[in-house]
Every structure is written in structure tokens, then in C-alpha cells.
Structure 1
Amino acid sequence: MSNDKYATPLSSRYASDEMSAVFSLRNRFSTWRKLWLTLAKAERSLGLDDVISEEAIEQMEKHLIITDEEIEAAKVEEAIVRHDVMAHVHVFGETCPAASGIIHLGATSCYVTDNADLIFLRDAYDILIPKLVNVINRLSKFALAYKDLPTLGWTHFQPAQLTTVGKRATLWIQELLWDLRNFQRARNDIGLRGVKGTTGTQASFLSLFKGDGEKVEELDEKVVELLGFEFAYPCTGQTYSRKIDIDALAPLCSLGATCHKIATDIRLLANLKELEEPFEKTQIGSSAMAYKRNPMRSERVCSLSRHLGSLFNDSFQTASVQWFERTLDDSAIRRISIPSAFLTADIILSTLLNIASGLVVYPKVIERRIKSELPFMATENIIMAMVSKGGSRQDCHEHIRVLSHQAASVVKEQGGDNDLIERIKKEEYFEPIWNNLDSLLDPSTFVGRAPAQTEKFVNKTVAQALAPFQHYVNDKDSKLNV
């Protein structure tokens, strides 16, 4: 594209070549040609061989991929006729003169535009699903690697009971598994509009086949089969129901919520210096502050996830305002929102895969933060240990309460370290358990079943979910230039 014209960053800067190709002009118009060829083949096989010649079929087959010159010629023609499909019928007919009279025979524009869109929806999901599988696979390896590493849990972003780094990752993975389930459902639910005519009644095809309704049904079935789909929607108006677009975009928008949450967690942990996304040796974090290591990949995921979530409303509004058999106010917005949704989801998953492939954990920072908070969390264990040595729970509780407030004052008012344990070691009341304090403060005893939960989740739940997709798994290192 010319540098003098605006190009959407989705395709020019971020999205993969394969996803951009799905929604490219060349693929769109070449798919229209494939649909015209398929219709002609099916019509010829069902008795219209006196109208549709073998030479027409051969010429169409030779020119399925539209050339740059033909795209430009169609633009010129469209400026004259003000109809994109008819412009391409004209150009394809000039390229295939033997077929010029039978291209688009019996069809309405939505035969090519809607069926093509449904093909693109399915093809786009076939690109996204492997990427999502690999994000889940990478994060699962990360979860297993850090299943035993205690870390401070957070509720309300306030210190809470300990968890492990790996267990926290399972929260991310579980939502991604639900996204994978939703993706697969949406992908398999996509059918074709098929051959339905201008208002869905198949009247034009009934005329072509001289009132033979069975042949019209057979034509519909044959086109669906030739295009590699399982079914066509049984009822349509001029278009397939735009509710299908809602069902196709909803899982993408839901993925946006998942990825925004994951990336936000990583950004917060980066601020705490406990975990970082990949940062290359030559990467610049700030033009002014040379020391900066900004989580720019995670920030990009958050930014694009918000955009992705907003696109659902386009499909909802469009489906809800369609009048009767169709209105054309669906056209312009769908040309923008549907490609945008898939391109954005593609970028998010590629970026998240990159992040998941190079997450850096800093155990010493995590350990220091645990030590600053664990003494308060261990007070119940200390009370129980004192009771086991013959002490009174109420007396011990009061001693702990006084010392805890003193330690909290040092932290909050003086900016010092939490010295609760040092205070306990100095107070003779606690002498019976002085030798037990190290074991009472062992972080691994505060994480509950987190390691076991993580291991079972990855080895059972994740393994079962990914089993049908193992041919997609790529364990090679993801490139960092994202």
C-alpha cells in the first residue's frame, strides 16, 4: 500500500501474514471466483450441461486467482456500475469469455459475499486455534516449572495467604481452556449460506430446473459438499442471519477479557519486580529513562484486548436491526468489524505466546516479599504451637497482638522491616517455641495443596483438553521480535 495512504496498524504493523491474507482483497475476490466455479460445476452436473460448457468450466478453473490488473479493472468497472459483485462478474467474464454468459447464473450477490464471509470465518478460526493451543501449552510448562515456588497471594491487591507461582498461572490457563472450547464450538458451528436465491426462496433456481424442487435441493447440497462444509443453514433471507456473526465474534471478545486479565497480572508483577515479560538485550524501555524495563508487550495485549471487546457490540447491533429479508446497513460495518476482530485476536495470541515463551521469575524478590508479610500470617501457627507446649490461647493471643502492632508501626510509620519474629525471639514468654520458629515460618507449609493442584490440573485437565490438538503444538522457542 502506498505510504501516502492510511493503512490500519492491524495489518500493516501487528497481525500475521496468514491472517491478513484471509481478509485480503485477493483472497476475497478469488474466493468469489471459486464460488462461481463451484456453482457452475454443480449446475452442469445436474443437467445444465447444454447451457454451461466444459470449456467454460476449464477457463474458470484456470483463472481462479485474481491478478492485480484484474483487481484494478474491477475498481474501474465498479465506479461505473456502482456494484462490486457485478463489476467482478464483468471482469471475470472478460477473462473467461466462454463462461461470461453463465457466471453467477441464478445467484444473488450474497451467494458470493455471504458464502465467502463464512469461509473466511472458518479459515480464520483455523489460524487462531493452533495459536491458542500453543499459548496454553507454554503456560502449562511454566506452571509445572514453578508449581512449588511459594509467592504472596493478593486479594484486593492486599497481601493474602500464600500461593505458588505455578498455581497462579493455572488461573490464567483455565480461562484460556474455556476460550479454546468456545473457539472450537464456534468454528464447528459455521455452515454455509448455500444456494438460496434473492430472498431465500430459491425461486431463480427452481426456474432454472423447470420446477424440479429436488434438483434445487440437490444443487444446494452439492455446492456445500464441493466447498468442504458439513451443512448449509436451512433458512435464510437474502443473507445468512447476522446472528451468526454474534456467535463468531463472541468467543473472540471473551478471549480479550482473558488476555487482558493475564497481561494485567504480569504488569502488576513486573512493578513488584517478581516476574517480567521477555526483554531483549538491545531493547530500549524509554527514550529518556535508560533504566526502564517497561512491560510493553503486556501493555499491547491490554490495549488490543479492549479494542477486541468493543467489537462485539458491532455484531450485536447489526444483527438486531436487520429488516425482514435484509437491509444493506450491515455491509460497511461488517467489512470493518469482522476482519478487525480476527486480526486483533491474532495479534493478541501471537504476543501472548511470545510473553509466555520468555517469562522471567525472580525468586529472591518473591522470597523477600514473603518474609515481610509472613510473620503476620504465621501468628495463628505460633499460637497453636504455644498451646501445644501448655500455654493459654488467650494469653498468647494478647502477647502476639501487642507485638504485631509494634511491628506494624515500624513498617508503616518508620519505613522499617517487619521485625515481629525478632520481637518474639526476645520475649521470654515465647521461649518454649523459639527452636520451632524456622519450621513455623517455612513458606512451603503455607501454600496448601497448590503444588498438587497445579500438577493435577496440567497433567489431567490440560492434557485432556489439548489431546485433540497435539499436532498443533510447537515447543520451539518463540521469536522475541514481537
Structure 2
Amino acid sequence: MTKHDEYESPLAHRYASREIKRIFSPRERASTWRKLWLWLAEAQKDLGLTQITDKALEGLRSNLVVSDEAFQVIAEEERIRRHDVMSHIFALEKDAPDAAGIIHIGATSCYGMCLPRDFKVSAMQSLLTDSAVTDNADLIFMRDALRLILPKIAKVIHNLSKFALKFKDLPTLAFTHYQAAQPISLGRRAAQWAQDLAMDLEDIEYVLASLRFRGAQGTTGSQASFMEIFHGDTAKIDRLNEILCEKAGFEACYDISTQTYTRKVDLRIANALSAFGASAIRIATDIRHLAHDKILDEPHEATQTGSSAMAFKSNPMRSERICSLGRKLSNISTNFSATFSSQWLERTLDDSAIRRIDIPEMFLLTDALLILLDDVTHGLVVFPAMIRSQLQEELPFMATENIIMKLVHAGVSRQEAHERIRVLSRETVETMKTNGTKNDLIARIEKDDFFKPIWAELDGMLDPKLFIGRSAEIVERYCGSGGPLERKLEKYKEYIDSTATATLAV
């Protein structure tokens, strides 16, 4: 049987990067568990557990990376024991026999510790409780994944910032209710996209900065087992967790944990990533609409095929894929909310299977979306002639308020001017819709003697730049040198400057 005969997740196979897949790979997971067992043993030895020998520690250090042969042992042991962590421990004991008596001394699945009152180190006694080190490993994986995706978001924001500045004063038709509205600049629209993503960046930075370690807290978080092993020396218990945090690269442990760290942590991260998924959809949907109007488009390869039947088509498939993957990501927080709220008292195991799926997937989805967004935002194609054409179709209507005010300055009643403009505008719209003709409102005004006082000024009132307000200034202030966006991206400057635009695998 080949890989083509078995199901493969499209998310991993088609969309996400190798870097993010490595973080959540079976080898990285198993090897991180081994690191955690080593760190626990080292810390316990430092704090006086004489049963842990230098030879045992060296055995652990020499076998941190799980080999293919070890994975075969693990698979066979799990088939027998129906317990993944115990299977990994037995495989490690075979790789490092000198450490067999001290691996995972009494630690629970989430890195607690539970020892019988007549504590005696042996391989079997060390397994009297529930498995190994999964929670602390998950926190490491999520921290590393957050660190990986943050600069990628910053790069997409940088792309949009450059685009916004380039087109800060190019007038384009705006839309409210997807109906023509007062023009803005194309750059101003892109600056809005950048601001949305900057909010996501802030949220993800916050959850990363707030992330803590579970450490070794005991089977229900009371640390009672550690009181036993350290003979009531609470300073040693605190120091044990300080050492573990130092080794794992965390500032501190959560103040309170049960048998697990609270699943509220997963939900917080999922909420931030789901919000990013919604932003991705929002941006890509705008691009799809603008591509329909032929005023803006995503990049296309020369050989790209839009349709198997309609050879002329060139579809915004990248933006469509963003919307598709973003839909999955933007809704994934619902699963984490249900898992968090369903944890009874000090824990239940109905969180395990779904977290194995959803934690990696929310990061792979985020990574895949960032690859797409980097590609699209770096290569956006603008069609100024089409923008002008679209704008000219609606600009006469946009000018009517200025026409009314000019008439008022000429001594005409505002109410009467408003009514005459309203009637001509309705007639124009009716003719356009019925006959498919172009906007001839200005021609109608030029034929109506009522408007004669301002005929000479009409051409000057139709300059598109008169209608975009402070759009260019808004973009410059937000995206320009020394602005909020530049300051926000400063910490990612080296990554942005040194990293090539992401390319799609498929």
C-alpha cells in the first residue's frame, strides 16, 4: 500500500508550511515528551532525589530524538496497552535502560506527581498514575507555533501598508450596502485591511505574552504529592517549577491548575486565531468583489487555468481559497469553547481526542492563510483605467451635493435646487436601468436653464480627487514613516526585510 491508497489531510498535504507541520509532527511531539522527562529528572536530582543518577540522565540526554525503530516499539506497546504515554515510556526505557527506574517518577499525564506513601522508585511504581507530559508539551507547541505565525502576519500587514501608501490618493468608488457611495482612495481601503490585521496581531501577541507553563502541580493541582516527596519543603516545590520553567523557556507556571492547565488557555488562543480567520475572509471577499468589477485582481501565473470548460476565465482562486480555509478557522473556536465548558470539576478526558485534531489544525489553517495572504497582498494588480471608468459612471451623482451648494451661493432656494436635482437624478437612473445607457445627468443639467448659474463650474466639480476627503492624509498618518503601523511592525523588521514572498505549493 502506498501513500496514495490512504487518506491524507489536505490541510497538511496541500496548504501548510513545513515549519508549522514540523512543530506538530509525531517526532517533535514524542521528542518533546522525552525532553520534559529529562527536565523533570534533572530538576528532581538538583533538589535532592538521590535515586536519580548521572548515568540515568546521560541515557535520557542521548535519546531525546525518537528514532523510527522506537516508533515501531511505541506502536506495538500502544496496541497492547491502549495508552499512548505509557507506550512512549516503555520505548524510552528500551532506548535508555539506565534511566528505566527514574523516568516520569510518579508524574501524571499533565506533569503532575502522585506517589504512594511508601515511595520506592521502580519502573512500575512510576506508572501507578495516569500517563505522562502532554499538557506541558502542548503549551510548548502552541508557544512555538505562535512565534512562527506572528512575523508572517506582520509581513502581510507590511505588504498592505506599502500598497496603501502607493495608492493613497488614487480615487476609487466606495460602497455602502454594496451600493455606490462617496469615493475614497484605493490606498485608504487597503489601510483598513491592514488595521484589521494589526488588531489580530495585537491579540495574538497578547495571548503569546500571557502563555504560561503548567509545570508539576500534582494529580489535581494541590501539590500534595510533592509535599510527600520533598518532606513538606514548599520552597523545593516552588523551585522545582522554577527550574522547569527555565528549561522550557516560560516565565512562570499558571497560578492554579487542576489535573490539566485550564482549557480556557486553548480557548483564548483559538479566539485570537479565529478572529484572524474572519479578517482573512473579509479582505479576500473584498478582493473577489473588486476582481468582479475588474478594478483590482490577485496575481495570476501565465499558465494558470481558470476553468476546464471556459478557457477565457481567470478566477480569483487564491482569494476563494482564503475564504474557504478562513471559514474553517473562524469557526474553530466553537469547539474549544465547548471543550472548555465541558470539563467537569478537576478534569475529564473528553477533551483529548478533539484537542489532538483541533490544536494542530487551527495553527495549520492560520499558517496556510498567511501563505496565501502574503502571496496575494504582495502581488495585487490595479487597473486605474477601469477604476476611472467605474467612478465616472457614478461621479455625477456624487457631485449633486456640491451642485446644490453652488446654486444656493448663487441665490437659489436649497429646497427647490434639491427637488430639481432629485427629479433629474431619478430620470437618469431610470434611463440607465431601462435602456442600458451611460450616466447622462450632467448633460441633462446642462440642458436645463434652472442650472445656468453654475454651468461654467460643472467641469471643475467633477474632479474625483475633490470627493475623497482626507483619504491620502489618513493613509499617510497610519501607514507612513513614524506612524502607528510602522511602530507596530518594528520588532518584525528583520523578518520582513529578509523573507521572500510566500509561494503556493499547489
TM surpasses 0.5: yes
- Is the CA contact (8 Å cut-off) linking 1:277 and 1:359 kept in structure 2? yes
Report 1:131-280 matches (<5 A): 131-280=152-301
CA distance in 2, matches of 1:108, 1:247: 25
Match among 356, 368, 372 for residue 351 of structure 1: 372
Report 1:21-420 matches (<5 A): 21-48=22-49, 50-111=50-111, 112-420=133-441
* Between 214-223 and 390-399, the greater mean CA deviation after superposition: 390-399
Do residues 4 (structure 1) and 5 (structure 2) align? yes
Do residues 468 (structure 1) and 491 (structure 2) align? yes
CA distance in 1, matches of 2:317, 2:150: 25
Task: Give the superposition deviation at 1:388.
Answer: 3.2
Q: CA RMSD in A?
A: 1.6
SS at match of 2:110: helix
Unaligned runs of 5+ residues in structure 2 are 112-132
SS at match of 1:219: helix
- Is the CA contact (8 Å cut-off) linking 1:357 and 1:477 kept in structure 2? no
Count residues in correspondence.
Answer: 481
- Is the CA contact (8 Å cut-off) linking 1:30 and 1:65 kept in structure 2? yes
Task: Give the superposition deviation at 1:477.
Answer: 5.3
Task: Give the superposition deviation at 1:97.
Answer: 1.1
Task: Give the superposition deviation at 1:155.
Answer: 0.5
Structure 1 match to 2:129: none
The one-letter code of the counterpart of 2:85 is: V
Residue by residue, what CA displacement relative to the aligned partner does 1:107-151 show, whole Å, maximum 9, x if unpaired?
Answer: 112121000000011001001101100010000001001110111
- Is the CA contact (8 Å cut-off) linking 1:106 and 1:197 kept in structure 2? no
- Is the CA contact (8 Å cut-off) linking 2:371 and 2:502 kept in structure 1? no
Task: Give the superposition deviation at 1:476.
Answer: 5.8
Residue by residue, what CA displacement relative to the aligned partner does 1:298-349 show, whole Å, maximum 9, x if unpaired?
Answer: 1111111111122111111111111222111110011011111111111111
- Is the CA contact (8 Å cut-off) linking 2:306 and 2:312 kept in structure 1? yes
Structure 2 match to 1:436: 457
* Between 231-240 and 438-447, the greater mean CA deviation after superposition: 231-240
CA distance in 2, matches of 1:399, 1:203: 85
Query: Kindly tell me: are residues 266 and 319 of structure 1, through their superposed partners in 2, closer, same or farther at Cα, counting changes over 3 Å?
Result: same
Task: Give the superposition deviation at 1:430.
Answer: 3.2
CA distance in 1, matches of 2:327, 2:210: 26
* Between 388-397 and 339-348, the greater mean CA deviation after superposition: 388-397
- Is the CA contact (8 Å cut-off) linking 1:179 and 1:251 kept in structure 2? yes
Task: Give the superposition deviation at 1:480.
Answer: 4.3
- Is the CA contact (8 Å cut-off) linking 2:31 and 2:65 kept in structure 1? yes
CA distance in 2, matches of 1:368, 1:477: 35
Query: Kindly tell me: are residues 398 and 46 of structure 1, through their superposed partners in 2, closer, same or farther at Cα, counting changes over 3 Å?
Result: closer
Task: Give the superposition deviation at 1:350.
Answer: 1.2
- Is the CA contact (8 Å cut-off) linking 2:108 and 2:218 kept in structure 1? yes
- Is the CA contact (8 Å cut-off) linking 2:371 and 2:504 kept in structure 1? no
SS at match of 2:5: coil
Query: Kindly tell me: are residues 313 and 479 of structure 1, through their superposed partners in 2, closer, same or farther at Cα, counting changes over 3 Å?
Result: closer
Q: TM-score, with normalisation over the residues of structure 1? A: 0.96
Query: Kindly tell me: are residues 475 and 160 of structure 1, through their superposed partners in 2, closer, same or farther at Cα, counting changes over 3 Å?
Result: farther
SS at match of 1:110: coil
Task: Give the superposition deviation at 1:229.
Answer: 0.7
Task: Give the superposition deviation at 1:439.
Answer: 1.1
Residue by residue, what CA displacement relative to the aligned partner does 1:450-469 show, whole Å, maximum 9, x if unpaired?
Answer: 11111101121211221232
Do residues 18 (structure 1) and 19 (structure 2) align? yes
Q: TM-score, with normalisation over the residues of structure 2? A: 0.92
- Is the CA contact (8 Å cut-off) linking 1:106 and 1:205 kept in structure 2? no
Structure 1 match to 2:123: none
- Is the CA contact (8 Å cut-off) linking 1:16 and 1:346 kept in structure 2? yes
The one-letter code of the counterpart of 2:454 is: I
Identity %: 49
Task: Give the superposition deviation at 1:293.
Answer: 1.1
SS at match of 1:323: coil
SS at match of 2:172: strand
- Is the CA contact (8 Å cut-off) linking 1:130 and 1:469 kept in structure 2? yes
CA distance in 1, matches of 2:502, 2:352: 38
The one-letter code of the counterpart of 1:468 is: K
CA distance in 2, matches of 1:321, 1:395: 66
Task: Give the superposition deviation at 1:479.
Answer: 4.5
Unaligned runs of 5+ residues in structure 1 are none
- Is the CA contact (8 Å cut-off) linking 1:149 and 1:165 kept in structure 2? yes
- Is the CA contact (8 Å cut-off) linking 2:371 and 2:503 kept in structure 1? no
* Between 150-159 and 3-12, the greater mean CA deviation after superposition: 3-12
